[in-house]
Structure 1
Amino acid sequence: MLTRNRLQDAVPRLVLAPSFAAILLFVYGFILYTGFLSLTDSKMLPSYGFVGLENYRKLWALPHWWRALTNLGIFGSLYIIICSVLGLFLAILLDQKIRAEGFLRPIYLYPMALSFIVTGTAWKWFLDPGIGLQNTMHLWGWESFTFTWIKDRNLAIYCVVIAAVWQSSGFVMAMFLAGLRGVDNEIIKAAQIDGASTMTIYRRIIIPLMRPVFLSAFVVLAHLAIKSYDLVVALTGGGPGQATELPATFMYSYTFTRNSMGIGASSAIIMLVMIFSIIIPYLYSELRGGPRA
């Protein structure tokens, strides 16, 4: 009987062991390997000549890297803010118990079911002046209409923002809707009895109670913004020029096309530090058991 109980206890561990070993090797193992490469003189292929922090010094001296960080700041800020505002608006709309909720909710969530490659390709066609929105308007007789942002070095990054917001706002809406449905109705009824308007209830009671949801949405969106690669490649290819270059596309280009693996690995470690700087405070807050909506 004792042996049978021990076997039953060991079965879950045996089932999970291969997955745990694979994660340990292919995730954390390669993170450590990337960190090691960032300290070497690796070029086209891995090399093991130790150079310390030289690659990081070269990285921060590159205008190309600063351009990628600037674009990330623009893209990440607009992406997080617009997705949060739009997601909250859509969640509040659906929370009014409208008849079409069952029809609208899948429509809002559908873009998240697509890969960023598909989203980038579709928006590239839509925004291309020769075949997309501008060409359609011209065919309909509106010859003065122009929309060439995707070809403009100063505006192309906003095309990436538009596509990313379209992809993710429905997911954020689902997070906020779950938060709204989790608010205690007794609090809302008490506020209504006291004469509070709907706007006041949302502004003074519901939205403050949803701070954990806002934090979760911020962490998810910031993580997606930092590691954005496939959307940019499919939509603009990082161009025109370097107008839409982000740290993820910078890392790929320096690692695989510019034969500077050491610098590419350094940029990957910087991105990892960015993600850790967001996730670790979030996990600390969650483990402390902060207030929840």
Structure 2
Amino acid sequence: MDTRSRIQDLIPKLVLGPSFLIVLIFVYGFIAYTGILSFTDSKMLPSYGFIGLENYRKLWALPHWWRAITNLGIFASLYIIICTVIGLGLAILLDQKIRIEGFLRPIYLYPMALSFIVTGVAWKWFLDPGIGLENTMHQWGWESFAFNWIKDSKMAIYTVVIAAVWQSSGFVMAMFLAGLRGVDNEIIKAAQIDGASTGMIYRRIIIPLMRPVFLSAFVVLAHLAIKAYDLVIALTGGGPGQATELPATFMYSYTFTRNSMGIGASSAIIMLIMIFSIIIPYLYSEIRGGSK
């Protein structure tokens, strides 16, 4: 191999090397460091007194943590199901080759271009009974109208679901629309020749063929739900009380405001395990599918 060929082989490594090193240190290195802290007696500052699984025992004994896990179950299940249903419905609508598709598609996708902080603040204003929807309806003369979920400890978690669904449904729609446009037209034409209705074609042929898209949408939405933090902070601040507390907000509060870094680190590791439990089976199925 001549000098020129060696330089050409070396340039990509030199370009990618610093990025790889930064990711290795500041992503995987700090993940490992968090794992170490979860086994220590760290409080306000890192400490390296090894206490084994004590932080995990304390974590699972906290009612605050169980509230966060319960809220995550409610939020994640509704968020994933509703986003999937709405995203699929919008994708099927646009797949009908309607004239205003070019106008509707960016409208549906626009919320995903916003940060969760912006979404949270906007929906906080909209749902606030004093300045938002309820106040507007009262000014229009509908005095009996009431919508104070954001102030109700039993209903506040559903306002987080509403805001999250509004932001993510367009992205899920784009995933499903790409999947619909990728279905072989010859299969659809054959079904039409056999007399199958449009509804039956979608139910019996198209939607079953889109299983990989459903799986991808589930993985994306599930990991967004598990790590949800900024939307909750901007919309409800985790309140009222602990009504909208999620594992990510719990981890932040115990690490930085309650001076319990060891417990905060252990909650972060639990969240990481949740994400791995979703990602690893997905990667396994993709690798197994690609090897066939």
Do both proteins adopt the same fold according to a TM-score greater than 0.5, normalized to the shorter chain?
yes
Cα distance in 2 for residues equivalent to 1:250 and 1:3? 56
1:73 aligns with 2:73: yes
- In structure 2, distance between residues paired with 1:159 and 1:134: 14
In the alignment, which residue of structure 2 is the partner of 1:241?
241
% identical equivalent positions: 87
Whole-Å separation in 2 of the counterparts to 1:288 and 1:180: 23
Q: Quick check: 1:231 aligned with 2:231?
A: yes
Q: Do structure 1's residue 137 and structure 2's residue 137 form an aligned pair?
A: yes
1:212 and 1:291 in contact (8 A); partners too: no
Q: Which amino acid aligns with 1:240?
A: P
Matched residue, 2:113:
113
Equivalent runs, 1:168-183 vs 2, <5 Å: 168-183=168-183
Deviation for aligned residue 1:290 = 5.8
User: Secondary structure of the equivalent of 2:289?
Assistant: coil
Q: Secondary structure at the match of 1:289?
A: helix
Structure 2 matches for 1:1-293, cutoff 5 A?
2-289=2-289
**Runs of 4+ with >3 A deviation:** none
Once the two structures are TM-superposed, the CA of residue 289 in structure 1 deviates from its matched residue by 1.9
> What's the RMSD between the two structures over aligned residues?
1.1
Counterpart CA distance in 2 for 1:291 and 1:211 is 18
Amino acid of the structure 2 residue aligned with 1:198:
T
Query: How far apart in 1 are the matches of 2:284 and 2:5?
Result: 36
For residues 29 and 3 of structure 2, what CA distance do their matches in structure 1 show?
Answer: 35
Residue 288 of structure 1 and its aligned partner are, at CA, apart by 1.2
In structure 1, how many angstroms separate the alpha carbons of the residues matched to 2:216 and 2:2? 45
Q: Deviations over 1:170-195 (max 9, x none)?
A: 00000000000000000000000000
| TM-score in terms of structure 2 length | 0.99
Deviations 1:231-274 (A, max 9, x none): 00000000000000000000000000000000000000000000
Provide, for residues 25-51 of structure 1, a one-character-per-residue CA deviation record: whole Å limited to 9, x for no partner.
000000000000000000000001000
1:228/1:246 contact within 8 Å kept = yes
CA displacement 1:35-69 (0-9 Å, x = unmatched): 00000000000001000000000000000000000
**Cα distance in 2 for residues equivalent to 1:291 and 1:213:** 19
- Residue ranges of structure 2 left out of the alignment (5+ in a row): none
Q: CA deviation at 1:206?
A: 0.2
Q: Deviations over 1:49-98 (max 9, x none)?
A: 00000000000000000000000000000000000000000000000000
* Structure 2 residue identity aligned to 1:31: I
Amino acid at match of 2:44: M
Once the two structures are superposed, residues 205-237 of structure 1 have per-residue CA deviations (whole angstroms, 9 ceiling, x without a partner) of 000000000000000000000000000000000
SS of equivalent to 1:145? coil
Supply the AA of the counterpart residue of 1:27. Answer: V
